[in-house]
Amino acid sequence: MKILQVINNLDVGGAETLLSEYALNSGENTSVILTLVSSDSWIRSDLENSGVKVIDLALQSKYRLISAMIGIARAIISEKPDIVHAHLFPPQYYAAFLRPFFRNIPFVFSEHSTSNRRRGITLLRPIEALSYRMYDRVIVISEAARKELTRITTGNNCTVVYGGVDEKRFIGPRNEEYDFVLVTSLRGREKGVDIFLEALSMVREKGYSAVVLGDGVLRSELTELRDRLGLRNAVDFRGNVDNVGEYLRCARVFVLPSRWEGLPVSIMEAMFSGTPVVASRTGGIPEVVPGDCALLFEPEDTEDLSKALVKVIDDIGLRQHLADNAVNRAGRLFTLSAYTSRLDFFYREMKRTSK
C-alpha cells in the first residue's frame, strides 16, 4: 500500500523520528511524505538518500491554511494513496477538513501527545472534537493519551499503537563523561527544560554536569535562564545532533522533565543505550518506564526532581538496576521491528475495513 504521510516538517523531534523510522523500515508499505515547511535536517537527508519521496510544499508558515489544503489535495490526487495519515497540528485540521472530498480513501490522524493548549480554549474545543471525529481512525501513542482524548470526544475511533526505535543506533559500549543528558525539543515549554535547570541549581554545590540536545525557539531564553542560575559552566546546549546514541551512552543519567508527554521516543532511546532514566510521572511516561525501570518524580516539582538527581547519581547500584530493567523492557516492547509490525497491521486493518 501507499501511505501519504502529512506532517509540518522533518525537523528533529519525536513524531518526525517515528515517521522516518517507519518509512525507512516498513517492508510492506511505501510512504510518501508531504511537509508543509522546508527542513534541513539529518532526518530528511536519510529519507531522501534512501529513496523515500518527500513532497515539500515549502510554505512560509505551517499556518497558511488555503495554500496547505490545496497542496495536500493536489498530492492526494496525484499520488493516489491507499491511506492518508496526518501528524501533529495544524495538519490535524487540514486533513480533517479535506476528508469529505475524498470519501473513498481512509484518513488517519496520529495524536502524539496527551494534551495541547487548544483543548483549554473554549472557542476551539468544539473544533478540536470535530476534527478528531472526521477521521476514520485516530492513532494514540499511549493509553494515557487515549484517556485524555475521551475528555473531548468519545474515543470510539481511537487505537493505541506504541512507538519504537532502531535499537542498533543506541546499543554499544558506555563511557560516562558527564552526569546528565536531555534529548528534547526547545520549541515549547511542555518539555520542561526550565524545570530541570531550576532543579539542578538547587544542588549546584554538587558540581554536576549536563548536556542538552535539541533546538528550537526557546534556546536563547533557556540559555539566559541557565546563566542567571549560575549554571553556565555546568550545562551545555549542543543543539541538534545526528549521533544521539553516543551522547546517551556518555551520560550517567537521562532526564526527561516534561510537563506533559505522549509516548516519548527519547526515553526508548535511553533505555536501549543502558542509560538510567529520571522522568516526570505524566502522560505516557509511566507506560514506557514503570517504577522498576526509572526514577519518576512529580511534574513541575523542582524539589522532587533535585532529590531524584542526587539519589540516582549517588547510588551506582540503583542506576544499574534501573538500566538493566529498562533494557529488558525495551527489547520486549519498543524495537523498531515491533513498531513497524504494529503499524503495518493497523494499516492492513484500515484498508480491509474500508472496503
**pLDDT per position as a tens digit, 15-28:** 999 999 999 999 89
E strands along the chain, which residues?
Answer: 2-7, 30-35, 54-56, 83-87, 107-111, 137-140, 158-160, 178-183, 210-213, 235-239, 251-256, 277-280, 294-297
> Taking the CA atoms of the chain, what radius of gyration do you get in angstroms?
20
Domain residues for 277?
167-333
| 268 and 342 share one domain | no
User: Across the chain, what does the average pLDDT equal?
Assistant: 95
Give the model confidence (pLDDT) of 124-180 as tens digits.
888 888 999 999 999 999 998 898 888 877 667 899 999 999 999 999 999 999 999
Best CA proximity match to 27, nearest among 6, 7, 5, 1: 1
- Does one domain contain both 202 and 143? no
Its pTM stands at 0.88
Greatest CA span in the chain, whole angstroms? Answer: 65
Adjacent-strand bridge partners of 2: 30
Q: How would you list the strands of the sheet with 178-183, edge to edge?
A: 235-239, 210-213, 178-183, 251-256, 277-280, 294-297
Looking at the fold, whether 179 and 218 belong to one and the same domain comes out as: yes
Question: Same domain, yes or no, for 318 and 183?
Answer: yes
pLDDT at 122: 73
Same-domain status, 246 and 281: yes
Scan for cell 514503570, then name that residue: 290
Are 247 and 312 in a shared domain? Answer: yes
Which residues, other chains included, contact 131 with Cβ-Cβ below 8 Å and sequence gap of 6+? 92, 93, 96, 97, 109
Are residue 347 and residue 317 in the same domain, yes or no? no
Which residue in 255, 248, 260 sits closest to 277, CA to CA?
A: 255
Could you tell me if 75 and 183 lie in one domain?
no
The answer on 187 and 137 residing in a single domain is: no
pLDDT tens digits, 274-333: 999 999 999 999 999 999 999 999 999 999 999 999 999 999 999 999 999 999 999 999
CA dihedral 212, 216, 220, 223 (to 10 degrees): -10
- Structural domain count, the chain: 2
pLDDT, tens digit, for every residue of 239-275? 999 899 999 999 999 999 999 888 899 999 999 999 9
Cell representation of residue 62: 505551517
The answer on 46 and 190 residing in a single domain is: no
Same domain, 126 and 258: no
Instruction: For residue 37, give the nearest of 66, 81, 82, 6 by alpha carbon.
Output: 6
Are 181 and 261 members of one domain? yes
Residue 52: give its domain's CATH number.
Answer: 3.40.50.2000
Confidence of residue 355 (pLDDT cuts 50, 70, 90): low
Q: Whose CA is closest to 266, among 208, 192, 195? A: 192
